[in-house]
Structure formats: C-alpha cells, structure tokens
Structure 1
Amino acid sequence: MRRIGFRGYMIIAVIIAIIAVGILYFFNINRVAPTATKKTSGVQITQSASGQYQTVIKNGRYLVSAARGITATAEPNNLDVKHFESNLLGLAKTHFKTSQYIFQEGQYLSSDKVTNLLDRKSSSNADGLNPENNGKTGDSRNPIYVQTLTEQDFMTKDGNGLKLAGMVIGVAMNTQDEYQKEKYGATYTQDISEADRIAYGKKIAPRIIQQVRKQSGVSEKTPIVIAMYANASSDSLAPGSFYAEATSNEGSNLETWSDIDNKSIVLPKESTDTSKLGSDENSGFSNFKNDIANFFPNIAGSTAVANFKNGTLSGMNVTVTTQFYSQTEIDSFTTYVGQAALKYLPNNVPIRIVVQTANETQAILIRNVNDKTFTTTILD
C-alpha cells in the first residue's frame, strides 16, 4: 500500500474544505427566507408591507399578464401608461381589501382576446368594441374610443390553492383620436367630446363584462368592477384620470354608475387657469421653484404634476431639469432641493422629485406620507 505523505494529507484537507464550502453556499443561495414567500398549491405568495397586496409567483417568477400593454393605436400620451395602472390598483383597494385578497396580474383575458376587443367591429370581428370604420374623414368619421384594457385579478385561499374572488377591469377611453387619411401621410387629430366619450363607455361596458365572463375560470357570479379612464391629450403635461366606475355581481348587469373625482394638474398653473383647485399647492410650488432657481442658476425649469382625489391633494411628482455636469454640483444641488422641498411643498402627501438633464436622470428624492425627510438616490 502506498503511503500518503504530509503534502498529500494537506491536499485532501483542502479539497474537503472546498467541497464543504460549496455545499454550504448551495444551501444558502437556494434557501427561501420564511418571511419572503408562502407556497400555495405550486405557486408562491409574496409577503407584503402594510397596505399592499400579496402577489403571486409561479415557477420562481412573477406571474405577468399576457395582455398587458396592448393598445388600439399608438399611446397618445406616455404619462397615461403608468398612471392608468397605478391608479387602477389604488381604486381596487377600495373594493378588495389588501388584508383579505391576493393580487394577481390578469390571467383570464388572452392577448388575442384583448386585441380583438380593442379593434373595430367588423364582419370578421363581431367582438370589436370600437365602432365600424365608416370610411369618412374629419369630424364625421367614427373615432377610436377605446384605447386599452387592463385586467386585475383578486384571489383568496381555497384549501391548498387559490380561487378567483373578484376582478377589476380598467378601460382607457380616448379624448382625442389621431389618424391618417392615407398610409404614411399627415397625422390628423379628432377631438372626442366628454358627453360622447361617457355615453360610448357606458354603452360598451356590458359587452366587456359579457366577454370577461365567457373566459374559462370566470363564473357568472364573480364580482367584476369596471372603471373608466379618460386619456390625456397628446400634448398634455399631466396624465388623464378615472372618472366613473360600476360593479357587476352577476351576468352582464351593472349596478348604478358612480363618478370618480380624480384629477391631475400641472404646476405652476397657467395664468389663464382661474380654477381654485390647486391654488395653495401652486403658491407653495412657485416658492420652491424660485428658491432653487435663485440658489442654482443653471436650471432649465421645474414643473410638478399634482394629483387630487375628491378635491384633496393625494400626491405630487416634481421634475427639475438642470444643466449640471459636475458630480459635486449635482450632490450639492440635490441636498438643497431636499431642504427646499421640506420648507415649501406639502408635508402630508407622498412626493417624488426627479432631478435630470435633458438626457439623463441625476437624482431621485422620495418622501412617503409619514416620513420626516426625503430618501435620496444620486446616480453617478
């Protein structure tokens, strides 16, 4: 038998140590913290902060909607994309409590179904929600009223699984329809009156409910909330808003429509805007804007979008555009912006401030409702 010398023992010891470390590393990176997720019938449910929904993970990935982001035409105002979805989730919380329901991205309406629904009605597409093309141009044409649909599902535990307990369908309606008289030709804009938009939305809402209930897994008695959103015009600096909602508890019947008093305005307000909404906020923001402009002259401009619910400020998003290139300038300016914001901007609502050049984001400052200071992220 061949004897193993001291050097051989050292090599074996090193190999054993490497294997042990590898085993420990494997188990550490694959171990799921007990507070991170909970398994339910092959899916995982995330834990959530207070006031937020638990969400569904399947096969280690967030369960996304196949129909998300589908639109009838090019989105007229990019501000509406995020605002529409985030505000729809806020509206959902008034119907489905975060402590009782689990949120799931829409899983029942397929991409093909949503595409057909957003198309014009025709001999080959009886499900189309938008009116038939009458072949006319100008104000006499049939516009595209319905721009996009978003489905949100709300689940409850059912033994070891989940079951659908309710749905929210967001419907974004156009206030303007952009079109071309000929391919690659000039783009024209057709305004849609508020009265026509509201009437058409109420007309097609039962058809939407009917189509949703036809999908496998959705019962005739699944509660479905439908919420109508008015897109902003293409040149607006503020996003649109939800304006009405109704609930269907059975079949395609809808209960009485309720108005939603949500509105977003741009600050500083135009001199021609004589409405009282946002007057106090406008005064405070003007002082904030002047303060930071006087301290740092290399500022191209500052604007804010103030969001109101039932006439009360619910949040503010501020954009400050600079001409800074030095990192020390960005650091100093961001610190000063946070101090000025605490002094002049409302202290009882969430505020998000983005400092940017024309080409890149330089810093983000966020303050939630109960925070005393801003959390600042400076991008190198």
Structure 2
Amino acid sequence: MKRLFVLSIISAVLLLGGCLPSIGPEKEEVIQENEELIEETVMIPDVQLNDDFYKVLTPLKKSATRGLVVSNIYTKYDIQEAEEGLIRLSAQHFDTKNYLFQEGQYIDTATASAWLARSSTNKEGLNPPENEGGDAEETPIYLAHIIEQNYLTLTDEKKVRLSGISIGLALNSVYYERGGKETTISDKELEKQGIAMADKIVSRMRAKEGLQDIPIVVGLFKQEKRNAIVPGTYFATAFADKGKSAPSGWKEVNERYVLFPAPADIDNYREINTTFSNFKQDIDEYFPSFVNVIGKGFFKDNRMQSISIDIPIQFFGKSEVIGFTQFLTSHIIKYFPNIDVEVSVTSVNGPEALIVKEAGDDEPFVHIYGY
C-alpha cells in the first residue's frame, strides 16, 4: 500500500538548510494518512527561497533510526555531512523544485539495529561474523550507520505520495576494537563491502509493502577517524530504478573537505593553501596578539566550492571587535572573490561576529552580535 496524503490549502515557509524569514500568515496544510488510516495534519511550504533546498513537510517526522546516529557515527561533522551529502546526491535524481523532503519512515530502529549487527549475532546482520579468535584485522565492523531519506511529489489529484527513497551507508575508515586496537580499512575494501551491502539493502527495501516501484538512490559515505575536525564524504553512488532489486551504474563521488592551513605536501591544494596562508599572515601582522585561524574548504571535482573560517579572538572591547570585523570583511573580498565564504569570529563570551559572502558578490553580509 502506498502512503498517500490528501491536500488542502494554507501556507508556511521551511527550507532544509535555509533561513526562516517572516512571510505571512498563509499556510498550506496537508492531511497525512498513515498505515493505520489515522489522519495527521502536516504542512507544505508555499515558498522556496533557494533551488538548492527541498521544501520540507512539517511538523517534522524524525527518522526512526535517528537515535542510533550519535552512538554509531564518530563526530558531529560526520553526522551533519552524512545527511547533507545524501541530499546533494538525491537532488541528481529527485529535483528540488518538484519533490518534497521527509526524514526516512521505512527503516525502523529494530530493523536498522538488526542490519548493523554482525551476521554471527543476527541473521539479518550485514557486518561480517567475528572470528573465534576475535582478530579485529580480519573482521572489522564496516557498516556504522544507515541514513534514510524520503522524497515525495504532489499529484494531479492534489495528493502527496512517496516517489523516491535515498539510503546512505556510513562506513568506517578505521575500526576501533574494544581493547583499543585500531584497524585501518582500505578504500578498495570499503568500496567492495559497501556495494555488497547496498545490494542487500535495496533488495530488502523492495520486499517492504509499497516500495516495489519506488526509485532508490544509494550513497557510500566514508566517515573520518575519531576526533577529526573535518567531516568525511560520500565516495560512490548508484541508482535502483523502479522495480530493480539492486542499484546499478556505480559512479565515483569526487568530494572532499580539507583543513587549512594544509600540509605542504598536498599538491592539489597548493594554490588555495597559499591564498589562505597570505590571508592569515595579513591578520597576524595587523593583530600581533592574534591566536589562530582555521579554515575548512569543501571541494567538488577538485574545485573548491566553499570555505568556512573559524577565528577565536582575545579582544575585550567592542570597538576592537568592530575594527577587526571591518578588516576581515575587506580581506575576504580580496582573497576569496569567487567562492562561498562563511567566517565566524568568537571569544570566550561566545559569538562576536559573522561574515557571509556568496561567490561573486561584492558586498558580504556582516553581523556583529550585540548590535
């Protein structure tokens, strides 16, 4: 049975990852009928401010597996990127103008826990059985978490129905044994295991009622080591069209986060690393008591798309914060004219200033907290 949602008119504004401006009192109200035939009132946004974001059904229905994410994914950066990266992959198949977003509703906690287990402890487990000797090098846990996202469309009959599912497999690049031993998993092995698990998961999703003809996007996510300060990324994706029991057409996803200043031996990022170092040097010369500047660049197909810069300061006066923010703004325009930039200035008192510039803009958005 496919889940259908009966539509009537009101309004609301909600964007996944976007801002929430004041639009007005109008809202678009949706009556959602669940499998027990109980109607629930939810809302669809009337306004979409950015084509990069999906409209989201509200109130939000949390994924049944959300409670597992904190214990299974090592860092907050990976938690965020595993979800946001899967949205980017999904947009290649489910365009943001015609599809609505909802967190996954078809893989419940019990199912996810069973799939994440070792096959020796649960017959549904996708991770390999543990050796009798407990050798972590031979039997690491590959699959750490499963992310599900649902994509819905509005029909001519003014109903909203499930029209796509995305599944992200968060995979361990390092396996930490209970005794503290670390086993690094090669990229080749990670890809091999991830593809095999993706085949099984899509086949199992097809066995669920109503999902036989729903297109499914699959992404393989390589999570970073514990205590990493940059997130991991998706490295492969495939698509299972209607009725297909396994994903096909696996493609490389060329995305990466790089911490700046970067090591000198990273040739692919030498130019941007020099730019960032010059930016940092200007700050150090202007404010000799300065502590540190840390940048995180996001690269897609070997081109930097955006950079976020964190700057902790030790200034005490608000006039110093204002002067420093003015200095930063002019240098951001000078050094990063053609990429998206977000600069956060903080102190022991909390956030002090925020500077946001989109690629190509001459005038950044600048906010000094307390003004």
Normalised by the length of structure 1, the TM-score is: 0.81
What secondary structure sits across from 1:265 in the alignment? strand
Picking from 174, 181, 189, the partner of 2:182 is 189
The superposition leaves residues 175-202 of structure 1 with CA deviations (integer Å, 9 ceiling, x where unpaired) of 0012222xxxxx3321111111111101
Structure 1 vs Structure 2 CA RMSD: 2.3
The superposition leaves residues 70-103 of structure 1 with CA deviations (integer Å, 9 ceiling, x where unpaired) of 2495533332111221222122111111111111
What's 2:296 paired with? 305
What's 1:209 paired with? 202
- In the alignment, the residues of structure 2 paired with residue 302 and residue 113 of structure 1 have an alpha-carbon distance, to the nearest angstrom, of 44
- In the alignment, the residues of structure 1 paired with residue 70 and residue 82 of structure 2 have an alpha-carbon distance, to the nearest angstrom, of 15
What's 1:12 paired with? none
Picking from 328, 345, 362, the partner of 1:372 is 362
- In the alignment, the residues of structure 2 paired with residue 104 and residue 96 of structure 1 have an alpha-carbon distance, to the nearest angstrom, of 13
Distance 1:188 1:222, change over 3 A: same
- In the alignment, the residues of structure 1 paired with residue 328 and residue 305 of structure 2 have an alpha-carbon distance, to the nearest angstrom, of 21
What's 2:105 paired with? 107
Could you tell me which amino acid in structure 2 is paired with residue 140 of structure 1?
Answer: E
State, as a whole percentage, how many aligned pairs show the same letter: 25
- Indicate yes or no: 2:325 matched with 1:334: yes
Normalised by the length of structure 2, the TM-score is: 0.83
- In the alignment, the residues of structure 1 paired with residue 218 and residue 166 of structure 2 have an alpha-carbon distance, to the nearest angstrom, of 6
Please tell me whether the aligned partners of residues 136 and 177 of structure 2 are also in contact (alpha carbons under 8 angstroms): no
What's 1:18 paired with? none
Picking from 260, 263, 275, the partner of 1:267 is 260
- In the alignment, the residues of structure 2 paired with residue 154 and residue 229 of structure 1 have an alpha-carbon distance, to the nearest angstrom, of 20
Tell me how far 1:137 sits from its aligned partner: 4.7
Distance 1:280 1:328, change over 3 A: same
- In the alignment, the residues of structure 1 paired with residue 73 and residue 170 of structure 2 have an alpha-carbon distance, to the nearest angstrom, of 11
What's 1:184 paired with? none
Tell me how far 1:145 sits from its aligned partner: 0.8
Structure 2, unpaired ranges of 5+: 1-21, 32-40
What's 1:53 paired with? 54
What's 2:215 paired with? 223
Tell me how far 1:115 sits from its aligned partner: 2.2
What secondary structure sits across from 2:66 in the alignment? coil
What secondary structure sits across from 1:126 in the alignment? coil
- In the alignment, the residues of structure 1 paired with residue 50 and residue 205 of structure 2 have an alpha-carbon distance, to the nearest angstrom, of 31
- In the alignment, the residues of structure 2 paired with residue 363 and residue 118 of structure 1 have an alpha-carbon distance, to the nearest angstrom, of 42
Alignment of 1:45-84 (within 5 A): 45-46=44-45, 47-51=47-51, 52-57=53-58, 61-68=59-66, 70-71=68-69, 73-84=71-82
Structure 1, unpaired ranges of 5+: 1-31, 182-186
Moved over 4 A (4+): 32-36
Tell me how far 1:331 sits from its aligned partner: 2.5
Picking from 314, 319, 323, the partner of 2:305 is 314
Count of paired positions: 336
Picking from 17, 28, 49, the partner of 1:38 is 28
Picking from 166, 183, 194, the partner of 1:168 is 166
